Every structure is written in C-alpha cells, then in structure tokens.
Amino acid sequence: MDNQKEISNRKLLGIAGMGWMFDAMDVGMLSFIIAALKVEWNLSPDQMGWIGSVNSIGMAVGALVFGLMADRIGRKNVFILTLLLFSLGSGAAAFTTTLTVFLVFRFFIGMGLGGELPVASTLVSESVPVERRGRVVVLLESFWAVGWLISAVISYFIIPKYGWKIALILSAIPALYALYLRLGLPDSPRFAAVKGKKTISSLTGLAKCWSKEYRRQTIMLWIVWFGVVFSYYGMFLWLPSVMVMKGFSLIKSFEYVLIMTLAQLPGYFTAAWFIEKFGRKFVLVVYLVGTAISAYFFGTANSTALLIGSGILLSFFNLGAWGGLYAYTPEQYPTIIRGTGSGLAASFGRIGGVLGPLLVGYWVTQKMPISSIFSIFCISILIAAFAVLFLGKETKKRELA
C-alpha cells in the first residue's frame, strides 16, 4: 500500500511539475521575446514594460478567480482549466502582428499561469505525507528552473535564427500533452474529504482569511508575495535587456542569462533539503537575504566576472526562496479556505509583478542608473525577509488543518 502511494505521489509530482515547466518556459522566453520585439517592432522602454505588466495583471486575476474556484469545484478541475487557457493563449499569441493583440493574449496566458501555480502547490501539498510535504512542494517548484533552462536554450538557438513566433509555438504544443496527462489525476484527498460536508461561499472564504484567527498569516503572506513578485518580474523579465544596456550584444546577453539560469536548479535542490531539516522560516529568510545582496551587487557590477557571478547567485537564492514560499503558503490555512488564501496572496503579489516591469521601463526612460533600480529591488526583498522573520510561524512537520 505504501509503495502504491509512493508511485502515486511521484506521478502527481511529475504531472504537476510538467505544467510548471511549461509555465516557466513561457515566462522565461517572454524576457527574451521582449528583447527581440524591441528590435522587430521598435518598442519603447514603456511598451516593453507593459508586456511584462499585462502578463502579471492576468496572473493577478487568475490567481484570485481560480483560487476561489479551487475551493468550490476542486483542485484537479481548476488545474486542467488553467493549463488549457495557457496553452491555447500561448499558441495563438504566436500569430499576432501588433502589440495590442499580443497584449490581449498575454493577459489570458497570465490568467492561466497565475491560476495554476498556487492551485498546483495546494494540490501537491494536500496529497503527500507531512514529513515530506515541504520538500516535495519545493521539488515541484524546481520544475520551474528546468522550464527556464529550456526557455533559455530555445531563445538562444531559435529566436535569433527562426524568430520569436516559432519559440512560442514550441512551448504551446507540448503543454497540450501535459493537459492530457492531467485528466487521469485524482483530486486532492483532503478536498475530497470536506467536499459536500462543509462548504462555504467565496465571500465567506475571503472574510475568513482576514478573521482574527488568520489575519497575521494573511498580512505576512501578502507582504512576502508582493516583495518577491515585484522584484522577480522587475529583475528577471528585464535581465536580457539589462545586459544589452550594460553594453553586451543581444546574442551575448542571451548566452550570459543561460549561464545564470543554470544556477536555479541547485538553488531549488538545496532549499528542498534545508526546508525539512531547518524549517520553512529558515529557508525563506536566508534565501531572501541572499537574493537581496545578490541583486545589489548585480546592479552595481562593473566587470563581466562580477556581473555573471552575482547573476548566478541571484538565480540561486531567488528561485530557492520561491520554492520555500510555495511550500509555506498553503500551510497557513485549513483545507476549506486553502485555495482561497493561497490564491489571494498570489493575486496580491501579482500587483507587484505589474508594477515591477512598468517601473523599470519608466526608470530606464528617466535615465535612472541600473544600480539604483536594483537597490530598490534589494530593499523590497529585505522587507519580505523581515515579514517572515517577525510575523511568520514555523509549519515544519505540522499536519494540515
């Protein structure tokens, strides 16, 4: 019986992880596509910023809407809906010829992305044993690094030679296969246990997240999600373009970002090991502080070696922190509002994802130094780390309510 459960858990991790991988491929390629569209469509920095921000607006809406739906119709059904929305939108975006239409598709792609990520972590979190829950959810997040790595390889070899449209099609087609695999997945056993016994309305779920019992967790999560998403999308969607601004060619910037992306995998794997050994708060605080320091040195780097070195550390610590955050978030709420609470936090965080790329575009237009821009991201990440340190409660090996 235990062996069957182990196989079932591995299957769940693999299928859920594939969805994350394709999501990461899309977000990762978007940073390269923005750099390519700047040349092809002669985009201004403000227009470049809007591409990333519209994607995040869609993610904010998706995280809220699909988070609420997950507590009503189940994790699995929402899991399928979000990937369908993402894959169809991504394929359709490849055939656009104007920025306006491209932005419309980016919104719907963002909805699918934003809805899938918190629901996937909730589904996996509710389906694995307590002693391995944190580690498995961080390993789920590690598929994001694989997707980013594939996106960097595709962008480096495909976009310069064949164009960004072919790259988008390459990311959309395999996602349909992941959609097929999801149809055979069982739903969360915890959701199945409460389904039909004790349901609450979406408004009641929203209110419960802000009740005295859960207010502290909600405030902490909203601060952390906002700081992490604001800095991540501000920094990483602009990474290839920032490299170009620092004097590297488009091809060279793609090459360096590919090298930096490799550091994401050890970031996840070390976080997965530490999270069950030292706890969620330890991983989040240490990796967020590491991200903040790396961001500062990346922004002020004046040599190629320092730029690549700090960029590698930025990828290592930032993605390890993401893994810890996705493991920590579902553990803050009981099953009946877990999807709602996780979706709310992710949705509020996506507001930061809207502001980050837009503000970078504005600051670049205003001739603000790259060092000052990355110092702002450094401060926002430190605020997130302090929120976890002072407001967060350790949830290692604690049974889900």
325 pLDDT higher than 70: yes
> Of 100 and 74, which is predicted with more confidence?
100
- In whole angstroms, how large is the CA radius of gyration of the chain? 20
Q: Please write the tens of the pLDDT for every residue from 377-392.
A: 999 999 999 999 999 8
141 pLDDT higher than 90: no
What is the average per-residue pLDDT within 91-109?
91
pLDDT of residue 399: 66
205 pLDDT higher than 80: no
- For residues 172 and 87, is the Cβ–Cβ distance under 8 A? yes
User: Measuring CA to CA, which residue among 160, 140, 325 is closest to residue 258?
Assistant: 160
User: Measuring CA to CA, which residue among 298, 139, 280, 156 is closest to residue 231?
Assistant: 298
- Sorted by sequence, the CB contacts under 8 Å of residue 93 that are 6+ apart come out as 102, 105, 106, 109, 168
- For residues 115 and 73, is the Cβ–Cβ distance under 8 A? no
> Of 217 and 74, which is predicted with more confidence?
217
In the structure, what pLDDT confidence band is assigned to residue 1 with cuts at 50, 70 and 90? very low
pLDDT of residue 88: 85
What is the average per-residue pLDDT within 58-85?
86
Q: How far is CA 236 from CA 99, 172, 181, 240, 319, in A?
A: 21, 21, 30, 8, 11
Domains and CATH numbers, the chain: 2-391 (1.20.1250.20)
The encoded tokens of residue 116 equal 């899938």
pLDDT of residue 102: 94
Lowest mean pLDDT among 18-32, 142-156, 174-188, 359-373: 174-188
196 pLDDT higher than 70: no
pLDDT of residue 111: 93
What is the average per-residue pLDDT within 107-119?
88
What is the average per-residue pLDDT within 267-275?
88
83 pLDDT higher than 70: yes
The encoded tokens of residue 149 equal 């790595």
Lowest mean pLDDT among 5-19, 158-172, 255-269: 5-19
The encoded tokens of residue 316 equal 């290592």
pLDDT of residue 401: 61
34 pLDDT higher than 80: yes
Q: What percent of the chain has pLDDT over 70?
A: 93
105 pLDDT higher than 90: yes
38 pLDDT higher than 90: no
What is the average per-residue pLDDT within 218-228?
96
Q: Which residue blocks in 366-397 are alpha helix, DSSP H? A: 370-391
Q: What backbone torsions phi and psi does residue 201 show, to the nearest 5 degrees?
A: -75, 160
The predicted model scores a pTM of: 0.79
- In the block, tokens 């739906």 appear at 69
What mean pLDDT value characterizes the chain? 84
What is the average per-residue pLDDT within 267-283?
89
